[in-house]
Amino acid sequence: MIDKHIIAFGGDGFYTEPENTLTARFLLGLTGLSKPRICFLPTASGDSESYVQAFYTRYTKELCNASHLYLFRREVKDLRSFLLSQNVIYVGGGNTANMLAIWRVHGVEAILREAYEQGIVLCGTSAGALCWFECGLTDSFGLDLAPLLDGLGFIAGSNCPHYDTEERRQPQYHRYILEGLPGGYASDEGAAVHFVNGEFREAISSKPGARTFYVRREGNGVVETPVTVRFLGQG
Protein backbone atom coordinates (compact mmCIF):
# COMPACT_ATOMS: atom_id res chain seq x y z
CA MET A 1 0.00 0.00 0.00
CA ILE A 2 1.28 3.45 -0.94
CA ASP A 3 1.30 5.94 1.94
CA LYS A 4 -0.42 9.20 1.10
CA HIS A 5 1.03 12.23 2.92
CA ILE A 6 -0.43 15.68 3.47
CA ILE A 7 1.34 18.33 5.59
CA ALA A 8 -0.52 21.58 6.36
CA PHE A 9 1.45 24.51 7.80
CA GLY A 10 -0.09 27.32 9.83
CA GLY A 11 2.71 29.42 8.33
CA ASP A 12 6.07 28.30 6.95
CA GLY A 13 8.19 31.47 7.04
CA PHE A 14 9.52 31.65 3.47
CA TYR A 15 10.06 35.40 3.77
CA THR A 16 10.84 35.68 7.49
CA GLU A 17 13.16 32.67 7.86
CA PRO A 18 14.37 31.67 4.39
CA GLU A 19 17.46 30.02 5.88
CA ASN A 20 15.42 27.71 8.12
CA THR A 21 15.44 24.39 6.25
CA LEU A 22 13.92 22.22 8.98
CA THR A 23 10.58 21.80 7.25
CA ALA A 24 12.21 21.43 3.84
CA ARG A 25 14.32 18.55 5.08
CA PHE A 26 11.30 16.95 6.75
CA LEU A 27 9.13 17.14 3.62
CA LEU A 28 11.85 15.97 1.27
CA GLY A 29 12.78 13.18 3.66
CA LEU A 30 9.31 11.67 3.36
CA THR A 31 10.13 10.69 -0.23
CA GLY A 32 13.09 8.51 0.73
CA LEU A 33 15.05 9.99 -2.18
CA SER A 34 18.42 11.77 -2.08
CA LYS A 35 17.36 14.65 -4.37
CA PRO A 36 13.60 14.52 -4.87
CA ARG A 37 11.66 16.64 -7.34
CA ILE A 38 9.52 19.32 -5.71
CA CYS A 39 7.15 21.72 -7.47
CA PHE A 40 5.87 24.98 -6.00
CA LEU A 41 2.34 26.17 -6.88
CA PRO A 42 2.11 29.95 -6.24
CA THR A 43 -1.45 30.21 -7.61
CA ALA A 44 -2.97 31.71 -4.44
CA SER A 45 -0.55 34.65 -4.60
CA GLY A 46 -1.35 35.36 -8.25
CA ASP A 47 1.91 33.65 -9.28
CA SER A 48 4.02 36.15 -7.33
CA GLU A 49 7.59 36.09 -8.65
CA SER A 50 9.06 37.20 -5.32
CA TYR A 51 7.26 34.32 -3.60
CA VAL A 52 8.71 31.86 -6.11
CA GLN A 53 12.19 33.26 -5.51
CA ALA A 54 11.71 32.86 -1.74
CA PHE A 55 10.80 29.24 -2.38
CA TYR A 56 14.02 28.67 -4.34
CA THR A 57 16.04 30.35 -1.57
CA ARG A 58 14.93 27.59 0.79
CA TYR A 59 14.66 24.65 -1.62
CA THR A 60 18.16 24.82 -3.04
CA LYS A 61 19.91 22.62 -5.59
CA GLU A 62 21.84 21.02 -2.73
CA LEU A 63 18.57 19.71 -1.26
CA CYS A 64 16.40 18.87 -4.25
CA ASN A 65 15.38 19.43 -7.85
CA ALA A 66 12.94 22.33 -7.48
CA SER A 67 10.53 23.81 -10.01
CA HIS A 68 7.39 25.94 -10.06
CA LEU A 69 4.13 26.00 -11.97
CA TYR A 70 2.53 29.24 -13.13
CA LEU A 71 -1.13 29.16 -14.15
CA PHE A 72 -1.73 32.86 -14.81
CA ARG A 73 0.90 32.78 -17.56
CA ARG A 74 1.15 29.15 -18.55
CA GLU A 75 4.62 27.85 -19.32
CA VAL A 76 3.79 24.13 -19.15
CA LYS A 77 1.64 22.52 -21.83
CA ASP A 78 0.87 19.17 -20.20
CA LEU A 79 0.02 19.96 -16.58
CA ARG A 80 -0.84 16.38 -15.71
CA SER A 81 2.47 14.89 -16.85
CA PHE A 82 4.40 17.70 -15.23
CA LEU A 83 2.73 17.45 -11.82
CA LEU A 84 2.64 13.66 -11.73
CA SER A 85 6.40 13.58 -12.36
CA GLN A 86 7.03 15.31 -9.01
CA ASN A 87 7.81 13.70 -5.66
CA VAL A 88 6.51 16.64 -3.61
CA ILE A 89 3.98 19.35 -4.51
CA TYR A 90 4.09 22.44 -2.31
CA VAL A 91 1.21 24.96 -2.40
CA GLY A 92 1.88 28.55 -1.37
CA GLY A 93 -0.27 31.02 0.53
CA GLY A 94 -2.61 33.76 -0.64
CA ASN A 95 -6.28 33.74 -1.60
CA THR A 96 -7.63 30.21 -1.14
CA ALA A 97 -10.96 30.72 -2.90
CA ASN A 98 -9.34 32.26 -5.98
CA MET A 99 -6.75 29.49 -6.08
CA LEU A 100 -9.36 26.74 -5.97
CA ALA A 101 -11.36 28.40 -8.75
CA ILE A 102 -8.29 28.68 -10.97
CA TRP A 103 -7.26 25.11 -10.26
CA ARG A 104 -10.69 23.89 -11.26
CA VAL A 105 -10.63 25.85 -14.52
CA HIS A 106 -7.25 24.35 -15.45
CA GLY A 107 -8.04 20.83 -14.25
CA VAL A 108 -5.44 20.96 -11.47
CA GLU A 109 -7.84 19.70 -8.80
CA ALA A 110 -8.29 16.39 -10.62
CA ILE A 111 -4.53 16.09 -11.17
CA LEU A 112 -3.85 16.67 -7.47
CA ARG A 113 -6.28 13.86 -6.64
CA GLU A 114 -4.27 11.58 -8.92
CA ALA A 115 -1.04 12.77 -7.31
CA TYR A 116 -2.42 12.01 -3.86
CA GLU A 117 -3.46 8.50 -4.85
CA GLN A 118 -0.01 7.89 -6.33
CA GLY A 119 1.72 8.83 -3.07
CA ILE A 120 3.18 12.17 -4.15
CA VAL A 121 3.70 14.21 -0.97
CA LEU A 122 1.22 17.11 -0.86
CA CYS A 123 1.82 20.07 1.41
CA GLY A 124 1.49 23.81 1.76
CA THR A 125 1.25 26.86 3.94
CA SER A 126 -1.74 29.10 4.73
CA ALA A 127 -4.00 28.75 1.66
CA GLY A 128 -1.80 25.78 0.79
CA ALA A 129 -2.74 24.21 4.13
CA LEU A 130 -6.45 24.99 4.20
CA CYS A 131 -7.08 23.73 0.65
CA TRP A 132 -6.60 20.04 1.52
CA PHE A 133 -9.43 20.06 4.10
CA GLU A 134 -13.17 19.99 3.57
CA CYS A 135 -13.49 23.52 4.91
CA GLY A 136 -11.87 26.16 7.09
CA LEU A 137 -11.45 29.80 8.00
CA THR A 138 -10.24 32.22 5.33
CA ASP A 139 -9.85 35.89 4.47
CA SER A 140 -10.44 35.08 0.79
CA PHE A 141 -13.80 36.82 0.52
CA GLY A 142 -12.96 40.30 1.77
CA LEU A 143 -11.76 42.09 4.87
CA ASP A 144 -13.53 39.78 7.31
CA LEU A 145 -12.70 36.16 8.07
CA ALA A 146 -15.34 33.72 6.85
CA PRO A 147 -15.83 30.00 6.30
CA LEU A 148 -14.57 28.40 3.10
CA LEU A 149 -16.80 25.39 2.46
CA ASP A 150 -15.51 23.90 -0.81
CA GLY A 151 -12.00 22.71 -0.03
CA LEU A 152 -10.57 19.68 -1.78
CA GLY A 153 -11.69 17.39 1.03
CA PHE A 154 -8.64 15.12 1.08
CA ILE A 155 -8.74 15.58 4.87
CA ALA A 156 -11.99 15.56 6.84
CA GLY A 157 -12.97 18.56 8.95
CA SER A 158 -11.67 22.11 9.00
CA ASN A 159 -8.39 24.00 9.22
CA CYS A 160 -7.30 27.38 10.53
CA PRO A 161 -3.77 28.71 9.83
CA HIS A 162 -2.03 31.76 11.39
CA TYR A 163 -3.55 30.96 14.77
CA ASP A 164 -1.09 33.02 16.81
CA THR A 165 -0.29 35.94 14.51
CA GLU A 166 -3.74 37.20 13.52
CA GLU A 167 -5.75 38.18 16.59
CA ARG A 168 -9.13 37.57 14.93
CA ARG A 169 -8.36 33.99 14.00
CA GLN A 170 -9.12 32.28 17.30
CA PRO A 171 -12.40 34.05 18.16
CA GLN A 172 -13.71 33.77 14.60
CA TYR A 173 -12.78 30.10 14.32
CA HIS A 174 -14.60 29.46 17.60
CA ARG A 175 -17.60 31.45 16.39
CA TYR A 176 -18.03 29.51 13.19
CA ILE A 177 -17.50 26.15 14.87
CA LEU A 178 -20.30 27.09 17.26
CA GLU A 179 -22.41 27.94 14.21
CA GLY A 180 -21.81 24.53 12.63
CA LEU A 181 -18.40 24.54 10.94
CA PRO A 182 -16.84 21.10 11.49
CA GLY A 183 -14.10 20.93 14.09
CA GLY A 184 -10.51 20.76 13.01
CA TYR A 185 -6.88 21.75 13.45
CA ALA A 186 -5.57 25.26 14.12
CA SER A 187 -1.81 25.85 13.84
CA ASP A 188 0.51 28.69 14.75
CA GLU A 189 3.17 30.08 12.43
CA GLY A 190 5.89 27.46 12.20
CA ALA A 191 3.65 24.54 13.16
CA ALA A 192 2.05 21.96 10.90
CA VAL A 193 -0.18 18.90 10.98
CA HIS A 194 0.90 15.75 9.18
CA PHE A 195 -1.66 13.25 7.88
CA VAL A 196 -0.97 9.81 6.46
CA ASN A 197 -3.71 8.06 4.48
CA GLY A 198 -6.21 10.64 5.70
CA GLU A 199 -5.45 10.09 9.39
CA PHE A 200 -3.65 12.48 11.72
CA ARG A 201 -0.07 11.30 12.33
CA GLU A 202 1.57 14.14 14.29
CA ALA A 203 2.13 17.87 14.62
CA ILE A 204 5.59 19.24 13.83
CA SER A 205 7.26 22.64 13.98
CA SER A 206 10.28 24.54 12.72
CA LYS A 207 9.88 27.15 15.45
CA PRO A 208 10.26 26.41 19.18
CA GLY A 209 6.99 26.91 21.01
CA ALA A 210 4.78 26.85 17.91
CA ARG A 211 1.44 25.26 18.79
CA THR A 212 -1.35 23.23 17.23
CA PHE A 213 -4.83 22.69 18.66
CA TYR A 214 -7.75 20.47 17.84
CA VAL A 215 -10.84 22.68 18.12
CA ARG A 216 -14.37 21.28 18.31
CA ARG A 217 -17.84 22.10 19.51
CA GLU A 218 -18.99 20.49 22.73
CA GLY A 219 -22.53 21.31 23.83
CA ASN A 220 -22.96 25.07 23.71
CA GLY A 221 -19.25 25.79 23.83
CA VAL A 222 -15.96 25.23 22.03
CA VAL A 223 -13.18 23.00 23.36
CA GLU A 224 -9.60 23.74 22.31
CA THR A 225 -7.31 20.76 22.95
CA PRO A 226 -3.53 21.26 22.65
CA VAL A 227 -1.81 18.77 20.36
CA THR A 228 1.72 17.58 21.14
CA VAL A 229 4.10 19.26 18.67
CA ARG A 230 7.47 17.77 17.73
CA PHE A 231 10.10 20.43 17.14
CA LEU A 232 12.24 19.46 14.17
CA GLY A 233 15.36 21.18 15.48
CA GLN A 234 17.62 20.57 18.44
CA GLY A 235 16.33 20.66 22.00
Q: Which residue numbers are catalytic?
A: 126, 162
Give the whole-angstrom CA distance, residue 129 versus residue 148.
13
Closest alpha carbon to 10 in 145, 174, 205:
205
Give the whole-angstrom CA distance, residue 10 versus residue 192.
6
Crossing angle of helices 108-117 and 96-106, rounded to 10°: 90
Give the whole-angstrom CA distance, residue 148 versus residue 157.
12
Give the whole-angstrom CA distance, residue 233 versus residue 190.
12
Closest alpha carbon to 42 in 6, 80, 75:
75
What value, to the nearest 5°, has the Cα angle with vertex 178 and ends 135 and 92? 25
